[in-house]
Structure 1
Amino acid sequence: MISRSPSAGPLQAAIRIGAGLYWLYFASRAWNGVAWMQPLMVQSAVQNPIPGLHELLLQVVVPHWFGFALAFAVAQTLVGLLLLLGLLCRWAAWVGVLLALCLALTVGFLEPELGRRWLFYLAVLVNLACVVGGPGALAGERLRGVPRWLRS
């Protein structure tokens, strides 16, 4: 049996809340429009060094940039809200892992400085910590009366 320290629950909650705020911050940039994402998507597609992904970005994502940008903004908002509220935490964190991987493997290559590129990789790790650690002590899914389908 694994024994956990008394501080593990609040620490897990802090990591989850931090990840939720991270996603809401970046989602909020798209709430007034997603047009600013188009040049990033085009530039990312042109500069991406990963075979297969480079072609996928050029042939699928760039021509349909608006739908992808809108879907990404909605996903960031939902992940941020769910993590912040502590509902469906593990599911939201898995989607956060996918979003962070998407950013790391596309927009991350636009950053010439390797140190800054690690910020994208850290987002993957923080979301994985939420998957593994769970919601922590302060989570909406731990409240009485919360439907079972809203629990991780």
Structure 2
Amino acid sequence: METRIKSGFPKPNVLTATKYPLNIAAGPHEPSTVSQALASPKWKQAMITEYEGLLSNGTWSLVPPPASTNVVGNKWVFETKFNPDGSAQCHKARLVTKRYHQTLGIDFYETFSSVIKPTTVRIVWLLQFIFLRTFNNLM
């Protein structure tokens, strides 16, 4: 068996193997603090869009904190989305909680995610159809 090294074709470098390599030497594109983000109109608009989206979805409501609970903080996470040619497509800002401040059994008791994939729904429908069909055939 002739391997890639023996035939003279080494494994390609990951950074140069892409058709449109990203310009990594351009420096950081994401701000590291909120004050840096607010200084740029693009990042400020991304933050406003995220905040308005959270309010319109009813994700949370502002209430006074109870005296005996731990208040969980939040932080902004910034990310630049790129086109295949390396140009900036859009600026994304997300407001996330600092989960490392929470303790299971004290600050929360269970987690819940209402995300369900369409494939899961189709499988459940298929199983229900098969079960009902075989059950009706037995009767």
Q: TM-score range by the shorter chain?
A: under 0.3
TM-score normalised per structure 1 = 0.22
The structure richer in helix per residue is 1
Q: Which is higher, the Rg of structure 1 or of structure 2?
A: 2
* Higher RCO structure (Cα 8 Å, ≥6 apart): 1
TM-score normalised per structure 2 = 0.24
